[in-house]
């Protein structure tokens, strides 16, 4: 599943409005500007998707054009996304990061490169010269794999499918993917989000085992496993802007 971050640094003026459109399984925000132009035009830059349209053009016409060019929109948004250089998180003693919807404090100590979990704390016991970032990712990946396996086992019977093989991914723009042959891949960085959001992504990918598309039938399957999936999609998009990198 993919999604796009809200447009940032955009001032909405008279004759403009912020809207969202679903392209496949992506929720894409866009700025719609109506004016004196004769045709509908699409542009994408660091601010996101911007649409110009004649004043009397209906919203249905605007969104039909966006969908016709959906592949191009997605491709260009991904290009701009990869150009972003968010400030990396410095892994130092006492740094905090989101973990399952709460705050996790990371502590550094001398040890044999192992992780010790406490109540809202994670102590990285490091050999001299070891990179704390690598050890932190390893510890979070282990927790992610264990939790994701449990949630897949819980929701697979609900969706009427067998529990699929699980693999972790580090994709920049996808939270999950599904293949009937190889199983489900889930982004380990989901571990930063509340379990309710993880459950939505799990249900989404399990539903693909029955419907390899985003048809109404697919979304009805998602709704069986996760009735409030619409709100979860919006919340996932909001949280994506807060995910830490190091």
pTM value?
A: 0.69
Q: Give the pLDDT confidence score for residue 214 in this predicted structure.
A: 84
Average pLDDT over residues 109-132: 93
What confidence tens digit (pLDDT) does each residue in 9-64 have? Answer: 444 455 688 899 999 878 899 999 988 888 899 988 777 899 999 988 999 999 99
Residue 153 near residue 203 (C-beta atoms within 8 A): no
pLDDT higher than 50, residue 80: yes
Residue 161 has pLDDT above 90, yes or no: yes
- Tens-place pLDDT, residues 180-191: 889 999 999 999
Tokens of 126: 């490091």
Options 3.30.565.60, 3.40.50.720, 3.40.50.10210, 3.30.2010.10; CATH of 96-240: 3.30.2010.10
Angle (CA) 182-71-45 rounded to 5° is 120
Nearest CA to 200 among 173, 182, 224, 168?
224
Average pLDDT, the chain: 88
> Residue ranges of the domains in the chain?
16-83, 96-240
Mean pLDDT of 157-175: 90
As a whole-number percent, the residues of the chain with pLDDT over 70 amount to 91
> Closest by alpha carbon to 151, among 166, 138, 140?
166
Query: pLDDT at residue 7 above 60?
Result: no
Reported as a single tens digit per residue, the pLDDT across 99-116 is 998 999 999 999 999 999
Q: What integer pLDDT is reported at residue 144 of this predicted model? A: 97
CA atoms within a 13 Å half-sphere pointing along the CA-CB vector of 186: 31
């Amino acid at each position: 599943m993919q999604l796009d971050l809200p447009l940032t640094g955009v001032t909405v003026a008279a004759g403009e409005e912020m809207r969202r459109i679903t392209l496949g399984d992506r929720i894409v925000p866009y700025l719609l500007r109506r004016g004196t132009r004769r045709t509908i035009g699409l542009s994408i830059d660091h601010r996101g998707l911007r649409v110009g349209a004649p004043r009397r053009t209906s919203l249905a016409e605007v969104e039909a054009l966006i969908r016709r060019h959906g592949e191009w929109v997605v491709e260009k948004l991904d290009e701009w996304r990869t150009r972003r250089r968010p400030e990396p998180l410095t892994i130092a003693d006492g740094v905090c990061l989101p973990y399952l919807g709460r705050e996790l404090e990371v502590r550094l100590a001398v040890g044999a490169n192992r992780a010790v979990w406490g109540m809202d704390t994670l102590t990285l016991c490091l050999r001299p010269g070891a990179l704390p970032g690598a050890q932190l990712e390893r510890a979070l990946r282990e927790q992610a794999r264990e939790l994701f396996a449990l949630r897949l086992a819980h929701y697979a019977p609900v969706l009427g499918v067998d529990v699929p093989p699980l693999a972790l991914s580090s994709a920049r723009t996808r939270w999950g993917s599904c293949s009937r042959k190889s199983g489900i891949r889930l982004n380990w960085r989901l571990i930063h989000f509340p379990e309710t959001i993880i459950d939505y992504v799990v249900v989404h990918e399990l539903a693909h085992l029955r419907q390899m598309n985003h048809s109404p039938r697919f979304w009805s399957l998602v709704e069986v496993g996760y009735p409030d999936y619409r709100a979860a999609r919006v919340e996932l998009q909001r949280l994506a802007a807060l995910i830490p990198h190091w």
